Chains A and B, each alone.
Chain A
């Protein structure tokens, strides 16, 4: 029951929020917080069962005609994700009360927030692919709406720097379209799976693996798996569909925290985690390709995004690129899990990093929101030296930044280390190197961010005459952030005790190798050593430039031009973004060209010419017919009548009445002849003339009806139609 209520309550409640907000503005926010609390409590009740390794699986009929059921699946994986989502949502909802205080449209915000939480919980608790897709899209729509929250596109809400600056409405659209592209691939895969397996249900797909064999025989197993991965690539902002996440920073910061850091972007990781054991159950060799792709996409994205985070000017953008990078780590872990003998190492590492990241990234965003709110600018150029003015925020943000970088003994260190270890276990040394390098870069950009924001001198504000008085955020905003910072520290300290428990927790999900087999001795030590070395390198470099201020990067770039080129390359987002806009412009140009040449210039002109030809042909034919044929016919008809009457007259007259004249008395017959003649001539002649005239007149009159005026023709047709209707109607009604 709880598994249903988790998501039903927030979704249904989302409809109540605008209504409550009508009564009192603040009620909307309180309602949203309450809904999140209820959902969080519901998800907690699922924990005991999940820890015991049990699974809740319930179905109801949805579309039985096509074998689609609606249902919930609460196994350790879903319950884990559900709790992460629900509790983080609660904290962020509380934070939002402060952030959105007095903001116009806050009821819309909280309604979307609630709907989002419900959608996300629906996603992770669904028992089948299609229902999961429903949740997937609901969070997509909420994401679109929340990114574009300030849809009036005021200057202050834009994100980016010219020429790469975008308004919120554009950012929302971009997010939706990029994720849609991924979703389409995922849908294709879902259909292929359904065509082969006849079901959408996760449990059934896992139990009867014959469909894997069927797909493989059709040569579609690897394509389907890769297409399925396209969805996570889009939703979790991996290369090449990652370009929407930086722009998503246009939305309100708690939305960024919730959606684009803690929860929605994890949906892709969830799906891969869900499907990985199912794909492996068929023991098919082709699946290795899938995992290799996942690992490399993850690893490459992690590296690429980290390089781009190095050069950002906006606080939230550093965090956005950092998110993309850390998600890459998760996919890397899942990928190598499938390539290793011991599936549990990579899998557990991915899940641990998911939890770790959710906590520290949410905290980072919440703290960033406080800072941006206080300074009135999103650019780090406008910050600096905030350590004294915002001490609590400084402390929280530093702790979680260190956790992000993987500094022991915080939780980020353990989870990242586990990923590195898993790479070694799977003998993926190239990926190991990439991940390690990225770890160094991560510490660099994190320290850079802290330094530019909190340390050093206070940078000049927009108007030096009226310096912005910066003060600590209100309690409702720093408390959630501090809680999360404490959590990351506690989790890190407790990790050595929890490690085995976590591994055992997830084991029922994939039910493979029961105990971890460390094939490579000393792998754990190498991993730790490497990460510490990279931390040192990255940290030292960052300190050197940003904290100790021993050197100016601008001067370095002037001396070594190649440094400047690298910076430009990174600043221009590896030119991937530009490429996409180029594609869009091409598409638009092609459409406009096709419209002008093919549609208007081709088919339209063809039909117009056809119409004109037909019209002019009929006009000239009509003229010719009338003049040449009709008129002539008319006059010859008149003449013919005349001739016939002459002939008739002659025969009748001369034939009959002459004889009569010869027989009868002269006076009577002559008189009757004269009278008769007159009558005859009169009648026939007049008749003839009348006939001729009538024909001509009829022709003239008929010509008058051909007015060419539309309304007359309308009238004729309407009359005809009414007559027809009467006839047919009468025919039907007659028996009655």
Chain B
């Protein structure tokens, strides 16, 4: 591969490095994590360079017999996703080093397997966002499932084999629905190319009934990934029982890809269906928001609480998508970034607490940790304030744009139901504040119980990723144009073309 192919490198260098990481682990044990981190930082640099060039497309011959090319495309919409995934992956690979030490211990080879799978996972996620045709998309979609499945099964907590299998089956079932939609679409249009399909569908004047079924199949597949209400039951298990670095990728990075996919695929292909059923989608999103927050209130396990919080946050994103307004949609996509950094922070904090307290996860047993781990406490506060939408953090920017768009759309359309959904939606953000601040208080404030007297601040390999994410959260909160300058035009163009 020549240096002029950044996107291909972003996807395949981690794949190649995974083999090298595995081989190196016999000598280096957990230090191969640094190798993984270096790989991801390299791909991050490539991604930043590629993204700053605007839109970049690379195409390779794949199976010319069925007219299939292997393409990679980075544009205003996929760039934020790719960059967030890579930043999170790089940061969490560093966090993995001390964390996996307490699970794996001395078995050197296992570090190799872990980091190899980790790199494959990152490659899968990034590939999904860069794919230009539906088969390739599906391939990467399933590809990011497999390494994560193994990692949960091997190093997770609780009934990990069962949980990982549950995660696999649910996601796979959704993916099969997606595949049905993909195959139908390509049968109708004769191509798999994502950029070519919308115009073909438009010209072919496919009946709305058919469009609805195909769109529904795809949408439900993605909603499983997003863990929308009703299809969410796998997520608390998977995120709670996964080893925490993987939880920190599953929740912030992976499930949001479902939202990217919804915008990239069903929304662009079947805008009429979305126009017709936006009310239903927004109601579904609203229920998800409220249900996720309420379930979070009832949790004692920190990681389960964060898992339900993620479900709620995904609801926000879908609400923004359902507005079909430029500001709302931009806010949604930006919310992926905000939720990514903030939830990444929160899961890392949860992992830190587990690490430093030697396995304590129950909130009832925790308390007063701020005096022992002040920097971790600040990171936790930043994380929760972020998802609560507090300025000057990035969560505020994404939430005001999201809700601003939803409100604008509701007022413009004059629809009472839309307005009610907007009002209840924004009221529900109080729930986020409730469980957020309450959790910070229960875990970090108050007197320190006897059994936690020995807790100390985590090592630098944990603190540095935390600090990096805190800085990102604040910087994007004060100057969101770093992302918006690319994202907003892309969304405007996308909506204009509908």
Chain A interface residues toward B at CB < 8 A: 62-63, 65-66, 130, 133-134, 137-138, 140-141, 144, 148, 151-154, 167, 169-170, 173, 176-177, 180-181, 184, 187-188, 191-192, 194-196, 218, 220, 587-588, 590-592, 594-596, 599, 603-604, 607, 611, 710, 714, 717-718, 721, 725, 728-729, 731-732, 735
Contact = CB atoms under 8 A, between A and B. Distances in A.
Interface of B: 12, 15, 60-63, 70, 139, 146, 150, 153, 161, 166, 169, 230, 233-234, 291, 294-295, 297-299, 327, 330, 368, 370-371, 385, 388, 390-392, 396-397, 400-401, 403-404, 407-408, 411-412, 414, 422-423, 426-427, 429-430, 433-434, 437-438, 441, 444-448, 480-481, 484-485, 488-489, 492
Contacts of A184: 426-427, 429-430
A188 to B, nearest CB: 6
A132 to B, nearest CB: 10
Contact of A194 (B371, B392, B408): B408
B298 A151 contact: no
A153 B446 CA distance: 5
A714 B150 contact: yes
Given A137-B396, A194-B404, A153 B445 contact: yes
Contact of B430 (A169, A181, A588, A599): A181
Closest 9 CB pairs of A and B: A169-B445, A191-B407, A595-B298, A65-B488, A591-B297, A134-B391, A195-B408, A151-B445, A591-B298
B370 A65 contact: no
A671 to B, nearest CB: 59
Given A173-B437, A192-B411, A66 B327 contact: yes
Given A141-B385, A152-B447, A728-B139, 18 more contacts: A65-B330, A65-B489, A66-B327, A137-B396, A169-B441, A180-B430, A184-B426, A187-B400, A188-B423, A188-B426, A191-B404, A218-B411, A220-B411, A591-B295, A607-B233, A714-B153, A725-B15, A732-B60
A134 B445 contact: no
A40 to B, nearest CB: 23
A59 to B, nearest CB: 15
B446 A167 contact: yes
Q: Which of B15, B139, B390, B430 has the most CB of A within 10 A?
A: B390
Given A137-B391, A169-B445, A177 B430 contact: yes
Nearest to B237: A604
Nearest to A130: B400
A63 B298 CA distance: 38
10 contacts: A62-B481, A66-B401, A151-B370, A151-B446, A167-B446, A169-B441, A588-B297, A591-B297, A594-B295, A718-B150
Given A170-B441, A594-B295, A152 B371 contact: yes
Contacts of A594: 291, 294-295, 298
B407 A192 contact: yes
Nearest to B479: A62
Nearest to B231: A603
Nearest to A710: B161
B146 A191 contact: no
B484 A176 contact: no
Contacts, number: 145
A137 B390 contact: yes
B407 A717 contact: no
Contact of A173 (B15, B146, B441, B489): B441
A153 B327 CA distance: 43
Nearest to B446: A153
A110 to B, nearest CB: 16
Contacts of B139: 728
A603 B400 contact: no
Contacts of B397: 63
Q: Which of B12, B60, B392, B438 has the most CB of A within 10 A?
A: B392
Given A151-B444, A153-B446, A599-B295, A188 B407 contact: yes
Nearest to B162: A611
Contacts of B429: 184
A152 B448 contact: yes
Contacts of A138: 391-392
B431 to A, nearest CB: 8
A196 B233 CA distance: 41
Contacts of B430: 177, 180-181, 184
Contacts of A137: 390-392, 396
A611 B166 CA distance: 9
B297 to A, nearest CB: 4
Contacts of B390: 137, 140-141
A415 B233 CA distance: 61
B411 A195 contact: yes
Contact of B70 (A141, A173, A599, A732): A732
A140 B385 CA distance: 11
A71 to B, nearest CB: 15
A580 to B, nearest CB: 12
